[in-house]
Structure 1
Amino acid sequence: MRTVSDTFRHAMFDQQTDELPVLLLTISHPDLGSVWRLSSDNADLLDAEEQLRGTISRGQNYYFFPMDVSLPEDGEDASNVIQITLDNVTREITPLLKSTVTPASVTIEIVLASAPDEVEIEFPDFELASADVDAGSVVLSLTVDTMASEPFPADNFTPSSFGGLWAST
């Protein structure tokens, strides 16, 4: 069972509140060269010269990108993919997202804008399954475990494939 603060619970369920839940994304991969930290809130001015805004959480800068999150649907045949659409993406980011051979690791955290150093909910261990590029936006598809979608068993144990299993001694 997940424990969240009363302030967070009121921010999520009250009809009117001054609190703002903030989504923080951390994307890491050795091929990217650095860790990317993205935020759904633009409250803090992170770089006055570049006019970059975002969130400062636990001493790290999370840069603001307008984003939309689509959670997976319920049901037996539904896919277990979370889609995050990032808007206003520059052309430099797109090739970097597609340059990795293995999936990048993604951590999703939710904090309150009034207390960005206190992580209310954390979803670690997501993998970046795909990054679909559109005009000015990128749709990131995140999965928990790509092995869950692999067939099991990976092969059929037939005499033509595994002759040693069927050989008589």
Structure 2
Amino acid sequence: MSGEEFSLDFREVLQQQHSSDVIVTLLTFMRPGDDVPVRLSSDRTEPLDFSGPNALWGTRSRGEIFYWLPLSIVMPGYGEDVVPQFRISVDMIDREILDVLRASNVPADAKVEIVRASDPDFVASQHKGYKLAGAPWNDAATQLVLRQRSWDLEPFPAGTMNPTTFPGLFP
């Protein structure tokens, strides 16, 4: 992620030593066949519900609710040998997280968005086209690995030049 992707105001918030504004990562997971996506937020920007024994926190962005989970995210790096992937570490606050991750054999589509807590409706950076590639876990946390499709594994050129597919080349 280069600095050119962000507006001048957003870069100013990123570079301030002491800022009252918080950078929030919004994650959207959608599994094929599911009607409702799972939306997660890296930071709690507002209380959503105080009716139960535990307060429910999250972020409202563009009319959608993103539920807060204690997580940290490592953005993809740059370079020729670097695989474009996000690494998201989710604290193991409840074992039900593993049940959700194991519920389907089909990898979920993922989208990562970066917003400011003061203006969550303005998306500063959006990363689409990722799939949940793995979720190794231990007693403390689970690591969600989001990867894009690797074009290095695609055959090039795509087809073969033979008389059936290219009859004009063969008299």
Give the TM-score of the pair, scaled to structure 2: 0.78
* Separation (CA, whole Å) in 1 of partners of 2:106 and 2:152: 16
Which residue of the partner structure matches residue 18 of structure 1? 20
Which of residues 59, 74, 91 in structure 2 aligns to 1:70? 74
Moved more, 72-81 or 12-21: 72-81
Aligned residues: 157
Provide closer, same or farther for how the CA distance between residues 80 and 120 of structure 1 changes in structure 2, counting only shifts above 3 A: closer
Q: 1:46 to 1:83 in 2, by over 3 A?
A: same
SS at match of 1:93: helix
Query: What does the per-residue CA deviation read over 1:86-117, in whole Å, with 9 as the maximum and x for residues that have no partner?
Result: 11442222122123222201110011000011
Output the amino acid matched with 1:13. Q
- Provide structure 1 residue ranges, at least 5 long, that are not aligned to the other structure: 158-169
The unaligned stretches of length 5 or more in structure 2 are 161-171
- Please name the residue that 2:43 is paired with: 41
* Contact residue 89 and residue 138 of structure 1 kept, 8 A: no
Q: Any idea what the Cα deviations from partners look like across 1:44-73, whole Å, max 9, x if unmatched?
A: 111112311111111111111121222344
> Whole-Å Cα distance in 2 between the matches of residues 93 and 131 of structure 1?
11
**1:13-66: per-residue Cα shift (whole Å, max 9, x none)?**
122222111000011113556311111111211111231111111111111112
Query: Which secondary structure state, in structure 2, belongs to the residue aligned with residue 134 of structure 1?
Result: coil
Q: Residues of 2 paired with 1:3 and 1:94: CA distance? A: 34
Q: Structure 2 matches for 1:138-157, cutoff 5 A?
A: 138-146=142-150, 148=151, 150=153, 152=155
Does the 8 A contact of 1:65 with 1:88 survive in 2?
no
